[in-house]
Amino acid sequence: MNRQIPRPADFADLLKFRRPTVDRTAARLRRAHTIADLRAIAQRVTPKAPFDYCDGAAEEELSLARARQAFRDIEFHPAILRDVSRVDTSVTVTGGTSAMPFGIAPTGFTRMLHAAGEKAGAAAAGAAGIPFSLSTVGTATPEEVAAVNPDGRNFFQLYMWADRDRSMDVLDRAAAAGFETLLVTVDVPVGGARLRDRYNGLTIPPTLTGRTVFNAIPKVRWWFDFLTTEPFGFSTFKEFDGTVAELLDSMFDPTVTYDDLAWIKDRWPGPVVVKGVQTLEDATRCADLGVDGVLLSNHGGRQLDRAPVPFHLLPRVRHELPDDIEVWVDTGIMSGADVVAAIAMGASFTLVGRAYLYGLMAGGRRGVDRAIEILADEIARTMKLLGVEAVAELEPGHVTQLARLVPVDRA
């Protein structure tokens, strides 16, 4: 090798400095390349109790861990030498178009995680061309969501209360605001044991104690936003003073049956998807009632711990249900590759909850935009690497579910 003394000009070509910025949020989001990166940012900037409310699940959190592991335990089978210079990530779901095969799931108490709350999620979803779902225990009203996402697709999620008139009033408000698809949640006869919330003493609205003040010292922006924006409230009912667990137990109705589901279906003017289906038998019975779709979900692992993994159920349910019944899936989705795997295994659509909320906590509306952008890029890249040009080309041959949890044979 011939050696020479380095010249200053040589270093100039190597040294590339980013222009400094005073916008710390923008800088953080620019460095986030995965949903896990957004989660790490969210944990740094959000007080422990709200972060744990989003991040945690029921009891030992086995259902959530297994659901995420199920997506890791897949093997893709790519085809080569295909023209994938362009890919079409759009799908048709409940009679309308979504720019990508995922939408934003309904989440409760969202303004507790970031002051921008559901308005940020709805506006970001509308800009991206994907559906947004508002929860019964959301912190923006149906009218507010419709105002920030007037041209987008808004879905409404319903918890049935013992007070049926109250439930129908909520339903009518959502319909009047132009919400098109109803998600009826059916896996909540009682609230799950969300132990992180109990240990944190999480209340609605969040309260200041010695421990929360100490924890909040490095999270000044969260408290500033919380204290200088409109008071914390709910989308469909008045203020509640108590813990999250107490609120959920007061809302959920253990007497809800298939008769109630049929009644709701007859009342709602648009498509109905049943959320929280966890067995083939229940999926079949819902289909027999004439619903438009079933959402395989164990509530993000937040209800029954050790519940079935929705992704594992997907192939059997899709095979047994009529083609005109859509089969959606959620729980455990943390990447665009997870979304692609679900679609390949037969899902009509997917919903993401925590993935969007990590972005919200990390940077408000811009964080949600970044979360959607990350998932969209991962979906397009995975499709190209699989050799498919459109979502409709994805099929079970592209994916193998590797066995980790195998049922024991019964005598």
Residue 279 neighbours by CB under 8 Å, 6+ apart:
308, 313
52 contacts 244 by C-beta, under 8 angstroms: no
Write down the H helix ranges in 177-276: 195-200, 210-216, 220-228, 244-251, 258-267
Query: Which secondary structure element, helix H or strand E, spans residue 8, and what is its range?
Result: helix 8-14
Spatial neighbors of 352 by CB under 8 A, at least 6 apart, are: 102, 103, 104, 105, 330, 333, 339, 371, 375
Task: Using only the alpha carbons of the chain, give its radius of gyration.
Answer: 22
Angle at 299 between CA 57 and CA 190, to 5 degrees: 85
| Measured CA angle at 335 (ends 200, 144), to 5 deg | 65
- Alpha-carbon distance of 88 to 282, in angstroms, equals 33
- Does residue 379 contact residue 73 with C-beta atoms inside 8 Å? no
Classify the C-alpha dihedral 313-314-315-321 as positive or negative. positive
Please give the Cα distance from 95 to 20 (Å, whole number): 47
> What is the C-alpha to C-alpha distance for residues 319 and 43, in angstroms, rounded to an integer?
40
Q: Which two tokens stand for residue 83?
A: 């023209």
Residues with catalytic roles: 299
Residue 310 to residues 59, 79, 202: CA-CA distances in angstroms? Answer: 18, 27, 28
- Position 62, amino acid: L
- Residue 44 and residue 28: Cα distance in Å, rounded? 11
Which residue, among 302, 268, 258, 260, has the nearest Cα to 179 in the 3D structure?
268
Cα–Cα nearest to 226, from 92, 319, 128, 114: 114
